[in-house]
Structure 1
Amino acid sequence: MFRLITTRAAFTTQAASLCTRPVLAGINSLAVTRLLSSAPGPKPANPEFSSGPCKKHPGFSLTNLPTSSLGRSHRSKLGKERLAFAISETKRLLKIPDDYLVGIVPASDTGAYEMAMWNMLGAKDIDICHWESFGKGWFADAVSHLKLRDVVDVREHTAGYGDIPDLSQTCKDRDICFTFNGTTSGVRVPHGCDFIADDRTGLTLCDATSAVFAMEMPWEKLDVTTYSWQKVLGGEGAHGMLILSPRAVERLESFVPENRPLPKIFRMTKKGKVDGSIFKGATINTPSMMAVEDYIDALQWCDSVGGVDGLIKISNNNLAVIEKFVAENDWIDFLAKDPAVRSNTSVCCTLDLTADQIKAFVALLEKENVALDIGGYRDAPPSIRIWCGATVETADVEALMPWLKWAYEEVKK
């Protein structure tokens, strides 16, 4: 990147000139001199560590996407075939039981989860579990907008960022709403979801948007599961996936919420029966066929690296790199102290820095094009968040670690 500089004067002159470049704007010449002399090694080949939308999969190219469905109606024979193929490949790769329904719905994971809440909640008392911002949002919607406390008992089970509530306090005879992986806190439910009873009479509604394709999903425990394409597969935004067990279908067909008008994009039944066409590719509203082709491309990539098991392995390897680094450095720690509930996708870490110093830390890495979009979520404690989903290559996580130490030392000076 730089020519070999043989004299101290020449080095100082070049360092000072670098201060006028946009990437180093605001950093004085002495800082630049230190920056250049202490660069710790190669940078990640791809600096994208955003927790959503997430990095595209290795080898991605727009030129690889089929274009025959573009400009065609999603109601056409071809459009329906591509949507149905996306659904069938999802079921195959995720090993979803044959009697479960899978549909493509509007408005990303948020739309899918809200659709389930508005259609199904209110038939039974409810336990809502949350330990980060999105789960907290589901609780607020349940009590403030759906006003479910007017018709059933709603219990809140909550914990702060980095912790998880005592999930054993939930009841099998109540509906249970929870987030499988807290994207903004780096805390996931324990492996296997053992807190959910096999003989439950209530439904489980699971927001799994940063867990699916990176963690084992115990489908027999999950009645409603939602996610979006933009997380672990690195797909495009705006579309959600809705997965329903036979028990969830039974609820749709037996329960009609009173005094709760449903927007068109939330309606899943016709004449008292579930609208099966939604789960065969006839979407409620117009999807982006470009985004659909991108999702299919991501599913094919998943297949090429060993399916879901291969993706889980990559995410676990990425997390292991950070765990080793944290064990070797006392100035960084996980927001989730308990390894049993630590996410392998949205990895959140606290630093021995003030909030302003963490902002400077993040900005410095971005200026160096080493790590983009790793600042902690706005409602979380001051922290960083490194996406470790399977589209991020382990070599890039390994290359990032020395730069974290470098940035920390620069900010602490």
Structure 2
Amino acid sequence: MNRAYNFNAGPAALPEAVLQKAASEWFNFNGTGMSVMELSHRSKDYEEVHFGAVSLLRKLMQIPDDYAVLLLQGGASLQFSMVPMNLLQPGKTGYYVLTGSWSEKALKEAKKIGQTSILASGKENNYKAIPVISGIRVQSDAAYVHITSNETIHGTQWHQFPKNLGAPLVADMSSDILSKPINVQDFGLIYAGAQKNLGPSGLTVVIIKKELLSRGKDELPAMLHYRTHAENDSLYNTPPTLAIYLFKLVLEWADSIGGVEKISKLNQEKAKILYDVIDNSDGFYLGHSDPESRSLMNVTFRLKSDEITASFLVQAKEKGFIGLNGHRSIGGCRASIYNAVPLEHVAKLADFMRSFKSQY
């Protein structure tokens, strides 16, 4: 069978090499006579997977020793609550930068936990651009500043992260983690659902500065306390073993092709191919985001009319392009070009876009 041209926003494409490796070990992992999902999470064979994945992530992202790496469940949506539960102390304020739907949801959950404030927002401009907050320092009551590094729905992305804000920077990196080099030390906490760049759904990665682990109250439920998972190497309860195994394979693939530096160059090349088609279409394709805030992960656009947009999506699906519908909240089209989406597939989509335009 031919592989689909998978542009889904998430769960998203996985590297073909990862799927092939997993298939070869499906019935007999590491000579155990069992699939990895049948192994005890206390077994030596699984522990090699578990700690090997953490070690590889540390290597690829250059995570310092004073940060803990946690492998959790519940998706980024649970982190919307866990972050304020653990970091938002009484008398303190969680500051949020709104750049789209996901940052709005993070704020909504934090409001249930404690005091919050909007530091900056792009909502008045329909979330077409990342707000400029350089030079801003938060008030002395700040517990943290929360950002969403890439907004999948509106197609905007932080290309330079704020520094010297006067409080730990917390980032939801679900849709662009491992897509470009970052300095982990610029952040107090990073969290990411795995299902876009790290592996399948079911796993959430949290990278947290160890000094922040003491902020959570002792009366927090054990499973909602970062310290619980840090002290137990993310093995307090049964972890999502199959998802972590696939996560490790994705990290091995990333390492084998040249690491984050190589991946970043490929992502820039892929995005340029599609944005060039949009920019040179004489208004036939209309990008949603402002050029300086364009996402390299989610290329959002619409066509000259709703009717033409609908026709584009029908013909695209007939040609094998999957997942190009824009999010239901804003419509239009969206091509999600995460790390595992091959350059060749992006080039084929660009060819289709030019061909479709020629019909009009």
Paired residues of 1:203 and 1:247 also in contact (CA < 8 A):
no
Provide, for residues 262-296 of structure 1, a one-character-per-residue CA deviation record: whole Å limited to 9, x for no partner.
444312336xxxx5334x341x4323322222111
Query: 1:163, CA displacement in angstroms?
Result: 1.7
Match of 2:179 among 193, 214, 222: 214
Q: Deviations over 1:230-249 (max 9, x none)?
A: 1124x110110010113423
Distance 1:170 1:378 in 2: 36
Partner of 2:81: 114
Aligned to 2:7: 49
Secondary structure of 2:272 counterpart: helix
What SS is found at the alignment partner of 1:167? coil
* Whole-angstrom CA distance in 2 between matches of 1:76 and 1:267: 25
CA-CA distance at 1:211 after TM superposition: 1.4
Q: What's the offset of the Cα at 1:45? A: 6.3
Whole-Å Cα distance in 2 between the matches of residues 87 and 172 of structure 1?
35
How many residue pairs were aligned? 342
1:171 paired residue number: 138
Name the structure 2 match of 1:277.
231
Aligned pair partner of 1:132 in 89, 97, 100: 100
Does the 8 A contact of 1:104 with 1:239 survive in 2? yes
Residue 221 of structure 1 deviates from its aligned partner by 1.4
Aligned pair 1:289/2:256, yes or no? no
The aligned residue for residue 204 of structure 2 is 240
Matched, 1:307 2:256: no
Bigger radius of gyration, 1 or 2?
1
Query: TM-score, normalization: structure 2?
Result: 0.87
- Aligned position for 1:378: 328
Q: Give distance in 2, aligned partners of 1:342 and 1:215.
A: 15
Name the CA distance, whole Å, in 1 between partners of 2:353 and 2:94: 43
Q: Alignment identity in percent?
A: 19
Q: Normalized against structure 1, the TM-score is what?
A: 0.76
Distance 1:399 1:276 in 2: 44
**Pair 1:375–1:229, CA change in 2 (3 A):** same
Distance 2:325 2:357 in 1: 14
Match of 1:361 in 2: 312
User: What residue ranges of structure 1 are gaps of 5+ in the alignment?
Assistant: 1-43
Cα offset for 1:255?
4.9
What residue is the counterpart of 1:63 in the other structure? Answer: 23
Matched residue type, 1:119? N
- Is 1:158 paired with 2:121? yes
Q: CA RMSD in A?
A: 2.4
Q: Distance in 1 between matches of 2:139 and 2:200?
A: 36
Amino acid at match of 2:270: N
CA contact (8 A) 1:321 1:398 kept: yes
Letter matched to residue 157 of structure 1: A
Task: Name the residue aligned to 1:266.
Answer: 224
Runs of 4+ deviating beyond 3 Å? 261-264, 275-278, 405-410
Taking the TM superposition and a 5 Å limit, the aligned residue runs for 1:52-91 are 52-59=10-17, 60-61=19-20, 62-65=22-25, 67=29, 68=32, 69-91=36-58
